[in-house]
Amino acid sequence: MKITSHIVLNGKLIRADKAAVNPFNRGMMYGDGCFETLKSYPGGFLKWDQHFQRLQEGLDYLDINRPFDSKALKDQVLELLNLHDLKNKEAMVRIQCWRDGGRGYAPTTRNAGWMMQASEIVSDATPQKLTVANTRCIPEASLSRRFKLSNGLNYIKAAQEAKSKNADDAIMLTLGGNVSETTISNIFWVKDWSIFTPSVECDLLRGVTRSIVLDICKRIGVSVVEGAFTLDKLHDAEAVFTTNSISEIRETQSIDDTGFHIGHKLVDQLKEEFDKYKKENLKP
């Protein structure tokens, strides 16, 4: 993604190379914060309200005050996109929030700092190579998996494993050995013209694009099975794809030494239906 010249920091539009934050902020020291990443399209946003709600609920979970409302935040997103001539292009928007304060695990304030950046997306539809990471997902009982929390060290370790194997991303398993997600996406697969995907009990982030794909399947009458699946079920798939807000639906060509069908008719149908969904549901 192309690096852009300006960001929004605590509500002010400034040059990125002039940005300064308190080095003792708890986001940097402890990962005490959360974020949201979404895609801006030439016609507007897809599921803005759902993204904003997840960010708001993440702040509530951390007991951090929300420093903006939905309209004010969207207005600043549009200002940032216009500044970088991204209003009529596909762009990634990331909103990062953290708690002010200082050292010590027990917070002394609910006040938040925040920043926002936007970058043009260079689309990559190349089927990806995945590997299975040794690093496991954090269980829901230890830390809520419903939000994008800032402390992502387990994802970083899994991504390092993927890089060491020349893979594009890593599949992560639950502590019990069931398929959960990749470091950046939810995962789906096709078997006998049905779609399979891990359930929310498998310690995964409940992605916005995941919810859209599930809605599409329901609307067009495609059978979906959500559950707890071991790796052998995934390796036995006909086709595999992942979803997130930036890449949307991306096919998988292999998981380690197991290859999969590219261009499966059911996956192609889901891609076509997703494109229709975007045209019908983009909002300014």
Domain residue ranges of the chain, discontinuous segments joined by +: 6-120, 128-281
Kindly tell me if the per-residue pLDDT of 1 is higher than 70: no
> What is the spatial order of strands in the sheet that 6-9 belongs to?
12-15, 6-9, 112-120, 91-99, 33-41, 44-45
Res. 281 pLDDT band, cuts 50 70 90: very high
Res. 65 pLDDT band, cuts 50 70 90: very high
Name the amino acid, one letter, at 177: G
Say what the pLDDT of residue 132 is: 98
Res. 200 pLDDT band, cuts 50 70 90: very high
**210-260: per-residue pLDDT in tens?**
999 999 999 999 999 999 999 999 999 999 999 999 999 999 999 999 999
The predicted model scores a pTM of 0.96
Q: Which of 88, 77, 86 is nearest to 120 (CA)?
A: 86
CATH number listed for the domain at residues 128-281: 3.20.10.10
* Fold of the 6-120 domain: D-amino Acid Aminotransferase; Chain A, domain 1 (3.30.470)
21 CA to centre of own chain: 25
Say what the pLDDT of residue 55 is: 98
What's the CA dihedral at 132, 135, 137, 141 to 10 degrees? Answer: 150
What mean pLDDT comes out for the span 24-37? 95
Kindly tell me if the per-residue pLDDT of 67 is higher than 70: yes
Say what the pLDDT of residue 4 is: 85
The domains spanning 6-120 and 128-281 adopt the same CATH topology: no
Say what the pLDDT of residue 122 is: 86
Say what the pLDDT of residue 118 is: 97
Between CA 206 and CA 210 the distance in angstroms is: 7
Kindly tell me if the per-residue pLDDT of 3 is higher than 90: no
Say what the pLDDT of residue 24 is: 87
Name the amino acid, one letter, at 75: D
Res. 177 pLDDT band, cuts 50 70 90: very high
Say what the pLDDT of residue 2 is: 65
Q: What is the mean pLDDT of the chain?
A: 96
Name the amino acid, one letter, at 214: L
Contact 204, 147 (CB under 8 A): no
Q: Which of 64, 73, 109 is nearest to 94 (CA)?
A: 73
**49-61: per-residue pLDDT in tens?**
999 999 999 999 9
Say what the pLDDT of residue 194 is: 98
Kindly tell me if the per-residue pLDDT of 180 is higher than 70: yes
